Amino acid sequence: MSGSRRMLPRDLVSEAIGGLLARPARVALTVLGTVIGVGALVATLGLSKTAGNQIVGRFDALSATDVVVSPSARAGGARAAVLPWDAEPRLRRLNGVAAAGTLSDVDVRGALVRSVPINDPLAAGAIQLPMKAASPGLFRAVHARLATGRLFDAGHSRRADRVIVLGPNAARRLGITRIDQQPAVFVGDRLYAVIGLLSGVRRHASLLGAAIMPEGTARREFGLRAPALAQVETRIGAVELIVRQAPVALSPVDPGLLKVASPPDPRQLRGEVKNDLNALFLLLGGVSLLVGAIGIANVTLVSVLERVGEIGLRRALGAGRRHIAAQFLLESTAMGLAGGVMGASLGTLVIVGVSASKTWTPVLDPWVPLGAPALGALIGLISGTYPSLRAASLEPVEALRAGT
């Protein structure tokens, strides 16, 4: 016992280092498992936060600014004549509105659409095509992209000009790919000049397959009574304000005749997205870390079995059980700590590399790379607990006999 009392901490450290350096290849492979586990954990936490910010940023840029105003059920639903014809300028006067426009379905009473002047409804090229009426500001509100030509303006609507803009799917069905030759289409027996072709929209996907005419034209030629809905794009953070003010601006006498569809709270969505991503990535990182922990436990246990004779000799020379246990715990903790340091470095490099390739801004909480080495050491400590207790429980005589 007197010998055990004189054993200093530096002696334990020296013995642990000696035990690790005795089998460098095995230790390196074991540490590699921890490096992969900790690196995966750090990388997944950082990438989940980075990707979450990108997803939420895109939501803020498009969905979080999307407001739609339409007649309520009390007013009679979508066909109710509640929205005024000057809804667009009224909405644009509200502080926080970036763009606004109105959109309606046009009842063309079964008229077929064709790109050649053939009166036979069964002739080739005569198709059923959705017809829409829009105010000029709608194109900006839905983020319409123009492939060629131009969009109609307030003058076209005021004069009720027979002009239309075709969505890409509608243009393909009609066989129109360019407008430099001033193409025109027949809606029934009415001739309309095609002045623009869209390449896409980010809101109201129904516009992709439709022919869009000015509201004034639909009002005069097809008896459109009122706009069906108003599409509003707000500035970031102005949704709640516009949701309150838009019904009053469009129907000051009875705002309850209008309903407003607005996006969910971006802060709540941000939390949900991050929680979902973190749950998935933490599971993957946890599995990798478990593999590393099992590797440390296995190598430490094998080391105990291989060093039974050494353990017996040290016990015979006066080393106590706690010293034997402390040595093996120190070895496993050192492997975990080394794996944690290298894993944190590897994970951080992965985050930076992936972010650079995607032109993202890398985001990582400071505690993640700082806490990763401590986590690795803790995993090593836990993994070495059973092997160290196994080593400490060996009796000197039995150990010496087994080691010979």
User: What three-state secondary structure class fits 79?
Assistant: helix
Angstrom distance (rounded) from CA 171 to CA 167: 6
Query: Is 381 a member of any domain?
Result: yes
Angstrom distance (rounded) from CA 38 to CA 335: 12
Same domain, yes or no, for 344 and 285?
A: yes
> 194, 216, 250 — which closes off a domain?
250
Same domain, yes or no, for 172 and 90?
A: yes
Same domain, yes or no, for 119 and 218?
A: yes
Report pLDDT for 124: 46
> 215, 250, 285 — which closes off a domain?
250
Angstrom distance (rounded) from CA 179 to CA 175: 12
Same domain, yes or no, for 100 and 182?
A: yes
C-alpha separations of 180 from 4, 194, 326 in Å: 97, 10, 85
Report pLDDT for 35: 83
Query: Is 305 a member of any domain?
Result: yes
Same domain, yes or no, for 199 and 338?
A: no
Same domain, yes or no, for 219 and 284?
A: no
Query: Is 18 a member of any domain?
Result: yes
Same domain, yes or no, for 97 and 218?
A: yes
Query: Is 54 a member of any domain?
Result: yes
Query: Is 77 a member of any domain?
Result: no
Tell me how crowded residue 215 is: count the other CB atoms within 10 A of its CB: 30
Q: Are 135 and 84 in contact (CB under 8 A)?
A: no
Q: Residue 333, class by beta-carbon neighbours within 10 Å (0-12 exposed, 13-18 middle, 19+ buried)?
A: buried
* H or E element at residue 287: helix 266-306
Query: Is 49 a member of any domain?
Result: yes
Q: Which residues pair with 259 in a beta bridge?
A: 70
Same domain, yes or no, for 246 and 274?
A: no
Same domain, yes or no, for 101 and 37?
A: no
Report pLDDT for 4: 44
Query: Is 65 a member of any domain?
Result: no
Tell me how crowded residue 316 is: count the other CB atoms within 10 A of its CB: 12
Cβ-proximal residues to 314 (8 Å cutoff; 6+ apart), any chain: 323, 324
Q: Residue 269, class by beta-carbon neighbours within 10 Å (0-12 exposed, 13-18 middle, 19+ buried)?
A: middle
Domain range spanning residue 192? Answer: 83-250
> 250, 281, 307 — which closes off a domain?
250
Query: Is 2 a member of any domain?
Result: no
Same domain, yes or no, for 216 and 274?
A: no
Report pLDDT for 316: 67
Same domain, yes or no, for 153 and 241?
A: yes
Angstrom distance (rounded) from CA 76 to CA 82: 9
Helices 321-357/367-383 angle, 10° precision: 150
Same domain, yes or no, for 294 and 333?
A: yes
Q: Report the phi/psi class of residue 306: left, alpha or beta, with left for phi > 0 and alpha for psi in -120 to 50.
A: alpha
pLDDT tens for residues 207-248? 999 999 999 999 999 999 999 999 999 998 888 899 999 999
The total of structural domains in the chain comes to 2
The parts of the chain modelled with pLDDT lower than 50 are: 1-5, 120, 122-124
Report pLDDT for 268: 61
Six-digit token string for 158? 């005021």
Report pLDDT for 94: 95
pTM summary value: 0.57
Angstrom distance (rounded) from CA 90 to CA 35: 61
Report pLDDT for 347: 87
